[in-house]
């Protein structure tokens, strides 16, 4: 499963960014092998419509789940229409967020 986490920086040790659309980076983690893909969010430069544009960016990664602090209603609608599960109120590092999610789901990493 691919999990996209909004991040303040470009590593798995970065903190979770609480704002979905304005997150400068997304760390996409393949939970089957814990390999990561770093996605730079160039949409943060836009004034309006950032959430839905970012949702499309995440959908293009093949992510099945998004872990973040808060997602606005327009972005959430785009994500859910694409079959992407949204988990909000996530804090800590990207690695801890993914580990916590997997533990709650009862999913093994490998």
Q: Which domains does the chain have, with CATH numbers?
A: 2-66+74-105 (3.30.420.130)
Extract the tokens encoding 99: 């580990």
DSSP H or E run through 59: helix 50-59
Sign of CA dihedral 79, 67, 10, 18: positive
Model confidence at 108, in pLDDT bands (50, 70, 90)? low
Extract the tokens encoding 43: 């949409």
Extract the tokens encoding 91: 């804090």
Task: Please tell me the pTM assigned to this model.
Answer: 0.93
pLDDT, tens only, 14-69: 999 999 999 999 999 999 999 999 999 998 888 888 999 999 999 999 999 999 99
The pLDDT, as a whole number, for residue 47 is: 84
The pLDDT, as a whole number, for residue 8 is: 97
Report the relative pairing of strands 85-87 and 65-67 from DSSP bridges: parallel
Residue 1, pLDDT > 70, answer yes
């Amino acid at each position: 499963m691919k999990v996209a986490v909004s991040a303040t920086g470009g590593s798995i040790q970065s903190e979770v960014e609480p704002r979905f659309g304005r997150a400068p980076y997304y760390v996409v983690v393949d939970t089957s092998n814990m390999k990561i893909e770093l996605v730079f969010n160039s949409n943060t430069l836009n004034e309006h419509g950032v959430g839905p544009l970012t949702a499309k960016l995440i959908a293009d990664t093949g992510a099945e789940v998004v872990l973040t602090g808060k997602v606005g209603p327009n972005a959430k609608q785009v994500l859910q229409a694409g079959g992407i599960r949204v988990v909000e109120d996530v804090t800590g590092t990207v690695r801890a967020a993914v580990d916590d999610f997997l533990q709650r789901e009862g999913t093994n990493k490998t």
